[in-house]
Structure 1
Amino acid sequence: MANNFEEDDKSDIDDINLDEPDEEPPLSKDKDVKKKLRLNLPQEEPERASSIHIVRTPFQKTLYYIKVIFLCGIWLVMAVLLPTMPLEKMEGFLTTIFPNETKTIIINPKRISRSALGLRAYGPFLVSVHASKTDAGVNKHMTAYLEKAIFDASGKNITNVMLVSNVQYFMLTNIEQMDYVKPVKVYGHFSMTNYTAEASEKVQLQLRMNTNIDRELTMKYFFERSLDAHTGIILGGLVLAFLYISIVWELINRTFVSIIAATLAIAVLGFMRSWPNVSKIIKWMDTETLLLLFGMMVLVGVLAESGIFDYFAVQAYRISRGHIWPMVNILCFFTATISAFVDSVTMMLLIAPIIIKLCEVMQADPVLVLMFLVIYANVGAASTPVGDPPNIIITTNSFISAHDVNFGNFMLHTLPCVLLALLQTYIQIRLTFRKLGVVPYKATAESELRQGVHAWERAAAAIQPYSPDTKQLKKVLKQKAQRVKEHIRKLGTRRTTTANYEETLAELRASHGIRNKTLLIKSVIAFAFVMTLFFMHSVHGLHQLSLGECALLGAIMLLILADVRDMEAVLGRVEWSTLIFFGALFVLMEALSEIGIIAVLGQMVEHVVRSVSEEQRLLVAIQLLLWVSAIASAFLDNIPVTTMMIRIVISLSQNKELHLPLHPMVWTLALGACFGGNGTLIGGSANVVTAGVAEQHGYSFTFKRFFCVGFPLMIGNVIITSMYLYVCHVCFEWHDPPLD
């Protein structure tokens, strides 16, 4: 039976063997026998083997040319907009508005663009958000609008004053905090009527500002050229549609299309005369998350060399006795529990390689099981302030942390809902995928051999053709990859077979064990150090280091202990395409936020909440915040959505006319943003990381398949959360946290 297992497990790809020659080469008189590299290759014509020929149908050729022409058109737009748009240096001005006084500022007509003007201000404002068009009423606010002053023939006396723009309202912080609060950035957009920049010299454009507070207000302001807000939103929506169409239908590599979309969004900002400088773009990239990913990828890459993932896979197979569902259930609930204290991104980086090995052993679908795990990780991470990036953003906000939102009451309010969501997720998965543990996984030839193709191609790409030998080796590796691709097309779908449990376990123990115990001990020391720092990060007063800095310190520690000399091999295990995708996605979402797409969602929520009666406002606010944050997080990434929605939560809670408590809206936003990350592949950071690890092992993690699995589960999560919040905060009014 063992022989049969070896035959079944034999690869379709010939190995590159380093072994002794059959005869001693008569090259020298000494007795030194040199090893040589023997490549076991079938005899083929070199021209045929080295050529990479893709056969396309006429329809595929048409689609290919359409795609190339379309991408060239996009490149042409970027190539024209980026170099030709004028880069204007904004000049800031300080001003003070006194009580019961209207400040008048004369505006140069050259600043007007397309009958619109943008205003950016820094001061003691409540939240960094686009100005509201609704009267702030009894709330402390600053009012701004544009007027046209018409002079007489002498040009000295004003004969008439006309309002030529919409009125903007900027919410102000409490008067007691104005002297020491940090300046907050706000935006205002003025659409003008009855005025053109080519007006007569007898017409003067003025910015008028006043407040309803009984003390002076000092701020710094900038004028910006501005497109009409609707035009910017339409352009931003087109960029977002291009990104999703390309990813959903797999027209372009997702890393490449994210770079194109981010560049397009920056070009749109330039078209709107709101150029971001390089330092601002770098800040958009969220180096904290990228540093965390890089450090953990290095740690996991070195740890994998010890063979610990193979060992864990064998032990999991032994514990589950070869049954798939017990293994999946244990791993899913374990992942959900640990993700509450170790962020879900780190958790998936650690556990994904183990799951892939285990699924290969048990003939289970690795992609489907990984999807289950990342969904459980996102749900479990919602229960604590450190489990998911949106929760970290919410709880570290200065306004929210100052209003008694801490680790204890956060977990007290979110944990019951998370437990209900985990139960709902388990039931829904078992009902939807009943055949997972009954019908053996059918692995196509492509899925079985893709790993080998990936290995050959990466090896060929890593070789620099500096000498004839390296050129020949690079050519041979490319030939090998192409030959396997041709073999894939010839093979059909085949069913994997599993030997009986005892013999399979014996074979696995013999071939999948710890390969380097010394490296394993060093890796455990480094990981223990990192995990200790992670847990300290969740304790108040012990989080001076960010999570990314903790991961980087651990990676440096492990590289020192392991005495790694081949850094290229270590860096080769880092998923650079995933890091680049994250960086480009962060830039894209922040650019769309600058354009105003995300702000529109917040304004819609605020408008609807204001329109209902006082008795229904809390119910409407909770349901709107939950569903808008969940759906938006699924399609726009939950990090920028959380950053924007938290401003809306603060604004609603500080509006004295609405009388809305802060804490229920905080729990609502946290649960909605975390659960919404399960909706699509790019909805959560852990999703993208898991997809990168799977593709590194040769398994395709597509947007469409994740959507089919994750989106129905996300809808179920949000429905459960909606009922939970209704019972707790509308029926029983459990608003204020009992913990200090």
Structure 2
Amino acid sequence: MNDWHSWAAIVVFVGAYALIISEKIHRVAVALGGAGLMLAIRATDDKSAFYSEHSGVDWNVIFLLMGMMMIVGVLKKTGMFEYLAIWSVKRARAKPFRVMAMLVVITAVASALLDNVTTVLLIAPVTLLVCERLALPAAPFLIAEVMASNIGGTATLVGDPPNIIIASRAGLTFNDFLVHLAPISAILVVVFVLMCRVMFRKAFLYDEDRAAEIMELEEREAIRDPRLLVQGLIVLALVVAGFVLHPVLHYEPSVVALLGAGLLIAVSSAETGDVLKEVEWPTLAFFAGLFIMIGGLIETGVISEVSKSLADAIGDNELGGSMILLSASAVLSGIVDNIPYVATMAPITSDLVQNMAGGSDHVMWWALALGADLGGNATAIGASANVVVLGIAERNRQPISFWQFTKYGLVVTFVTVVIALGYVWLRYFALA
């Protein structure tokens, strides 16, 4: 890492990260500016930035987001989210903590079946309407849900994009993830719900008058276009089936989402222009810039150097190695997006497993998955779902600052990672 390009790339990335944290300049402008500087100093180039699967823009993430945003845009017109908002509030008797607990559990379960980004795209509109009806601050509810999505997404192969990368590299199946990661994910969801009761207690303001008004509402009256709703739900069901059957069909989630969006627009009365207005273009631009900046660190060897140093520290000590890998992955995934981090770390983890003569029960891979997935909760840009929710909140005039998210994220990440470390030690070493 003696090349000046490496140090220049570090300066650009750290500077951009500092500006994002300070919020003195809009994060989209910072990300695109940082991407431009990475290209200008030749830390990366156009081929690497736009065409490289290893160090370029992850178009699968971009087009997955775009496709699902379009589907959500159509569903918004049906009144479905208003229906779900009224239904959920009535089931929780309009008690704020009960509402949050319900939404958190639903989000965690849905994130295991879909992916965490798709889940928050579907649940966030419901949450905004619930909070509006109950006169509650939306930020705590949105923050809780996105963290639940990252925890729930840990449980399955399709729940979080890093898991797909790990499964491909290690030859793991959908059932492998269920057996090894679903139990700890379920435990962490329960712990997280209890943490929410403490962390967000100031947000649980009960308004008897508003609660009474909602309890008297008939949720079916919220449906404005039954025909479009049926069309949208059928397409959404097909898209969900496509996600779940990824190991069989081998269609990337981005392809499934785009096919679903195209089919829904083709068969429904929705205007293409109106649907495209629902796409969070600033969020997509932020992701593109962030991917290019991280690609600069990859191309100049910065991330590889960090990963190799981690591998040298681990050696052939499986217990110590799994503890270090899980902890370090949690820290690094909070700084850079967990997708490029896992893509870089996967081949190194493969070498570590071989050095340990295969390891026991793929423990090193589970350590990498747990660290990357749970570490994504640490900061506002640690996982794709976090960035998406911040964009939705800003668009709906309920902005969530970097530090507002991160002050909760650091606590949640610390607690969940400590429990995950205990789980790995107990299951794969103490009781092995």
For 2:158 and 2:426, the matched residues in 1 are separated by 26
Residue 261 of structure 1 deviates from its aligned partner by 0.9
Are residues 1:596 and 2:301 paired?
A: yes
Q: 1:569 maps to which residue?
A: 274
Q: 1:543 maps to which residue?
A: 249
Residue 426 of structure 1 deviates from its aligned partner by 2.1
Q: 1:609 maps to which residue?
A: 314
Are residues 1:293 and 2:2 paired?
A: no
- Provide Cα deviations, 1:42-86, integer angstroms capped at 9, x if missing partner: xxxxxxxxxxxxxxxxxxxxxxxxxxxxxxxxxxxxxxxxxxxxx
Amino acid at match of 2:47: V
Are residues 1:694 and 2:393 paired?
A: yes
Distance change >3 Å, CA 384–CA 228, structure 1 → 2: same
Are residues 1:499 and 2:209 paired?
A: yes
Residue 723 of structure 1 deviates from its aligned partner by 0.9
Single out whichever of 365-374 and 425-434 deviates more from structure 2: 425-434
Q: 2:330 maps to which residue?
A: 630
Check conservation: 1:605, 1:621, Cα contact below 8 A: no
Check conservation: 2:63, 2:254, Cα contact below 8 A: yes
Check conservation: 1:649, 1:662, Cα contact below 8 A: no
- Provide Cα deviations, 1:175-234, integer angstroms capped at 9, x if missing partner: xxxxxxxxxxxxxxxxxxxxxxxxxxxxxxxxxxxxxxxxxxxxxxxxxxxx724x4443
Secondary structure of 1:396's aligned partner: helix
For 1:503 and 1:719, the matched residues in 2 are separated by 43
Q: 2:283 maps to which residue?
A: 578
Amino acid at match of 1:281: F
Residue 436 of structure 1 deviates from its aligned partner by 3.1
For 1:502 and 1:628, the matched residues in 2 are separated by 49
Residue 378 of structure 1 deviates from its aligned partner by 0.4
Amino acid at match of 1:278: K
- Provide Cα deviations, 1:569-608, integer angstroms capped at 9, x if missing partner: 2211111111111111111112211112211221221221
Q: 2:188 maps to which residue?
A: 421
Q: 2:50 aligns with which of 272, 281, 290?
A: 281
For 2:400 and 2:202, the matched residues in 1 are separated by 20
Number of aligned pairs? 429
For 1:625 and 1:502, the matched residues in 2 are separated by 51
Task: Spell out the pairing of 1:334-483 with structure 2 (5 A cutoff).
Answer: 334-397=106-169, 400-401=170-171, 405-437=172-204, 439=205
For 1:500 and 1:372, the matched residues in 2 are separated by 23
For 2:143 and 2:371, the matched residues in 1 are separated by 19
Q: 1:228 maps to which residue?
A: 2
Q: 1:676 maps to which residue?
A: 375
Check conservation: 2:107, 2:149, Cα contact below 8 A: yes
Residue 268 of structure 1 deviates from its aligned partner by 3.2
Q: 1:253 aligns with which of 7, 21, 26?
A: 26
Check conservation: 1:255, 1:581, Cα contact below 8 A: yes
Are residues 1:652 and 2:352 paired?
A: yes
Check conservation: 2:199, 2:408, Cα contact below 8 A: no
Distance change >3 Å, CA 568–CA 671, structure 1 → 2: same
Residue 660 of structure 1 deviates from its aligned partner by 4.6
For 1:601 and 1:571, the matched residues in 2 are separated by 40
Amino acid at match of 2:91: I
CA RMSD, Structure 1 to Structure 2 (Å): 2.0
Are residues 1:515 and 2:215 paired?
A: no
- Structure 2 unaligned runs (5+)? none
Check conservation: 1:232, 1:596, Cα contact below 8 A: no
Check conservation: 2:329, 2:371, Cα contact below 8 A: yes
Task: Spell out the pairing of 1:170-185 with structure 2 (5 A cutoff).
Answer: none
Check conservation: 1:342, 1:534, Cα contact below 8 A: yes
Residue 333 of structure 1 deviates from its aligned partner by 0.9
Distance change >3 Å, CA 504–CA 333, structure 1 → 2: closer
User: TM-score scaled by structure 2?
Assistant: 0.94
For 2:39 and 2:241, the matched residues in 1 are separated by 40
Q: 1:102 maps to which residue?
A: none
Distance change >3 Å, CA 280–CA 581, structure 1 → 2: closer
More strand by share: 1
Residue 281 of structure 1 deviates from its aligned partner by 2.4
User: TM-score scaled by structure 1?
Assistant: 0.56
For 1:652 and 1:698, the matched residues in 2 are separated by 47
Distance change >3 Å, CA 607–CA 279, structure 1 → 2: closer
Q: Point out the structure with max Rg over C-alpha.
A: 1
Q: 2:416 maps to which residue?
A: 717
More helix by share: 2
Check conservation: 2:112, 2:154, Cα contact below 8 A: yes
Higher relative contact order (CA 8 A, sep 6+): 2
Task: Spell out the pairing of 1:181-220 with structure 2 (5 A cutoff).
Answer: none
For 2:413 and 2:388, the matched residues in 1 are separated by 19
- Structure 1 unaligned runs (5+)? 1-226, 441-496, 734-740
Check conservation: 1:363, 1:498, Cα contact below 8 A: no
- Provide Cα deviations, 1:472-514, integer angstroms capped at 9, x if missing partner: xxxxxxxxxxxxxxxxxxxxxxxxx6625333443x5499711
Residue 661 of structure 1 deviates from its aligned partner by 4.6
For 2:191 and 2:89, the matched residues in 1 are separated by 26
For 1:579 and 1:551, the matched residues in 2 are separated by 15
Distance change >3 Å, CA 260–CA 662, structure 1 → 2: farther
Q: 1:244 maps to which residue?
A: 17
For 2:6 and 2:48, the matched residues in 1 are separated by 24
